[in-house]
Amino acid sequence: MSSSRSTPSPSGSPSGADAPVPAAAVEAATVRLRRAGCVFAEEEAALLTEAALATGGGAAALDRLVELRAVGQPLEHVVGWAEFAGLRIAVGPGVFVPRRRTEFLLALARDLLLRAPGPVPVVVDLCCGSGAAGAALAVSGRRAEVHAADIDPAAVGWARRNLGDRGQVHEGDLYAALPADLRGTVAVLVANVPYVPTADIPLLPAEARTHEPLVALDGGGDGLQVLRRVAAEAGQWLAPGGTLLVETTERQAAAAREVVRAARLTAALHHDDERAATVVTGTRPG
């Protein structure tokens, strides 16, 4: 379990006397997870037990889930969900797991949405992955027209599951996926673009580089390739006063801000020490 991921939190211990999974089986799972290198083995065993019970299984189902986790599958993929901004976001093999640090980007986006003019502001979650940001903004307390888009068909399927009837999900390459009539109307444009430099992909934790799609991680030579494409067209899609928000790293922050500034947007950097999160924003002049 890495603190950078939006890891599920156990809702309580399943190992009591009345639990369908015997306490001995939960303890055995904990030992096995600890031997596999899981730092938070006890918490993970509780989550895996909860997942086993949710499928109607018992100790045998728990054993199967522990095996998947022990061989390196992300915990979120094994249990079927990730905690993000107080929501359970459905995820599974082949989709990017939302990170806890992205909750900082979400907080900035939510604040902009609450202050956006008009009765029903338009929100777009570009490079949406599982649709976590779009789903969270859809329940932010402000009525909005929510759209999400991704180039990966698998991600689109998960995003549709997570947004349900609270938003529309489109498949395609960046803005090409969006309805043309959204041009010039978007109040909040969240684009959690891939930003890992290609040469750094082998340095990522095994959970990410092995089990998450490369298209969600690889940002090109300097990690800013997709950001350049997003920023270049953002002004055509944003409403006057609308804002683009993109997550980046502290190391890339200055260069990312210049990319946004070169697109004739008013650029700013935001950093949250607690989450180790950095966000660049670009606002279309009003």
At 183-200, the pLDDT tens digits run 999 999 999 999 999 999
| 37 contacts: CB under 8 Å, gap ≥ 6 | none
Give CA–CA dist 40/215, Å, rounded. 29
The amino acid occupying position 82 is A
Q: Does domain 102-283 have CATH number 3.40.50.150?
A: yes
Whole-model pTM over 0.75: yes
For 2-14, the pLDDT digits (tens) are: 335 666 665 554 5
**Every domain of the chain and the residues it spans:** 23-79, 102-283
Token readout for 46 is: 């509780």
Q: Quick one: pLDDT at residue 2?
A: 36
Residue 3 pLDDT: 39
pLDDT attached to residue 211: 87
Cα–Cα distance, 68 to 35 (Å, whole number): 14
Place of tokens 């969270």: 136
pLDDT beneath 70, residues of the chain: 1-19
